[in-house]
Structure 1
């Protein structure tokens, strides 16, 4: 039997983008349980079946495999706080979300993108997991975009699409707040000062453009990539799309990493760069990243990543 490094295999599986769900159930004594999960898939329309995968080491394993049914709540893109709540050992997770009993008895969330309430149809042993196949007893689709998850982080499809549309209206520059070991990579600019790594988008995909040029020009590999800011510089009529991401090991070909508490704020090339870094440091300390939309002086931060 081939042996793989579990962490490396998990990271490879994480390249597949999924949605985020909260699975709920009501136990025989009337109590409720719920947990965040992204191992979910539709199975069949006739009969209506879906599945979730549950680790045998999960503290919910005995309850879920012994329950008569379960519900799958597909979270909307503004429900990262709900995802975080149900992923942590909170005393009463259900106090943080609007819920009601579904037709088969499990709690469902009216504020979600969609929900499915199921009776347990079959449980299949699958290595260190069990596959729970549910027969849909009722569902509701609210027409909202779902919250995405890939490579260990959330993404929001509608905001990503908005950034692409903005980039198509004018020449776009892609920049990245690149973090490694509590430090940020800054590059020297002609005439003095520092700037974020950036490149012109052209007709390329934004993240692919940034990843390619980081490797080619500065010898740095980036992982992840989450939308952080989209703004228009009205003087130059240029769209700016800023991501936040992590950097792999190795020294950059130019520039250097600065500690978060020692960023050269007075030496940054533009006031916008200073604003971006100040906001990054503040939101990082709270675990509360949002996405800014506006221009170089005013706009609005969409609070899509509220701390649970």
Structure 2
């Protein structure tokens, strides 16, 4: 969409393609009571002086308090704090009742168990359309040991599950593949016996994503970006472990294979029933845009959903 008149929902969804971290921004109101809200519009600004920013909607019920506060804290949530994110994203009467917290060195509430925190003085407030940009000067900070919680396309992403799944699949004779999608179509590669398969390659030592992305770009001649892990399973019939990622391709004619509309995928002509099952699930999940990670074998397993935002 390139016209001057945008569909706000479509624009929001497109912004949501960018994988971000998840934070809880906290402060104290004029009575000294803690307030906080979930935000993923957070970024570092400067090291010297130490500055960061968060964005706050002017319609937020916290807008007046935040813009008049002497400072605020940014709590970077860990991958185990999805429930905390949901609590501070909902209109709960006392959001701090179910979490551990303390008063930070500069006075803002600091949550327990976070991946990192920054306690800031208010440096500047910048008007930005229907939002305000709060620029804070870092007065104190701490870097924890937990991995951060991710968020993209309306879903939470945790790195631990992906790491465990790939490590498990690396045992045996692993193949790494991708469901390469663009504009509602999926790339399939013809096999020597006249069937179709996903673009795939043997798993190389020393890395997965870089090798897969280089292979896809070389084979298709297109710009291809590898995204989230999608499926990890053992095919006991062939003796292979399969690691499947989602990927997106740019427009243009592919130098390998053929793009099929998701509704017209030749599921009866795939190289194995397991590949057909991967594509059936992808077609079903594409309708809602809510994807998960399958872990199991070619006959049974479990889909671990990316937890949806409340």
Q: How high is the TM-score relative to the length of structure 2?
A: 0.71
Describe the SS at the equivalent of 1:158.
Answer: helix
Q: Which residue of 1 aligns with 2:135?
A: 131
**What is the CA–CA distance in structure 2 between the aligned matches of 1:251 and 1:83, rounded to whole Å?**
42
Q: Tell me the residue number matched to 1:8.
A: none
SS of 2:294 mapped into structure 1: strand
Count residues in correspondence. 284
1:280 to 279, 282, 292: 282
The alpha-carbon distance between structure 1 residues 151 and 190, as it changes in their structure 2 partners (threshold 3 A), is same
Which consecutive unaligned segments of at least 5 residues does structure 1 have?
1-13
Q: Distance in 1 between matches of 2:86 and 2:195?
A: 39
Q: Is the 8 A contact 1:286 1:307 kept in 2?
A: no
Q: Deviation per CA, 1:5-52, whole angstroms, max 9, x where unpaired?
A: xxxxxxxxx9x98643232334447694524236355999xxxx9753
1:121 equivalent to 2:121? Answer yes
Gaps (5+ residues) in structure 2? 1-15
Match of 2:26 among 21, 24, 38: 24
- CA distance, structure 1, for counterparts of residue 35 and residue 76 of structure 2: 18
TM superposition shift of 1:233: 2.0
| Separation of aligned partners in 2, 1:184 and 1:20 | 31
Give 1:82 deviation, angstroms.
6.8
1:6 counterpart residue number:
none
The match for 1:36 among 36, 39, 42 is 39
Give the root-mean-square deviation of aligned CA atoms: 4.2
Aligned residue in 2 for 1:5? none
CA contact (8 A) 1:173 1:201 kept: yes
1:246 to 248, 252, 260: 248
* Secondary structure of the corresponding residue to residue 279 of structure 1: helix
- Displacement after TM superposition at 1:182 (Å): 1.5
2:6 is matched with which residue?
none
Name the structure 1 match of 2:185. 183
Where does 1:140-289 land on structure 2 (aligned, <5 Å)?
A: 144-148=146-150, 155-289=157-291
Cα displacement string for residues 84-108 of structure 1 (whole angstroms, at most 9, x for unaligned residues): 8978xx666987x954664368666
State how far apart, in whole Å, the 2-side matches of 1:205 and 1:197 are. Answer: 17
CA distance, structure 2, for counterparts of residue 33 and residue 196 of structure 1: 45
Could you state the TM-score of these two structures normalised by the residue count of structure 1?
0.71
Contact 1:211–1:221 (Cα < 8 Å) also in 2: no
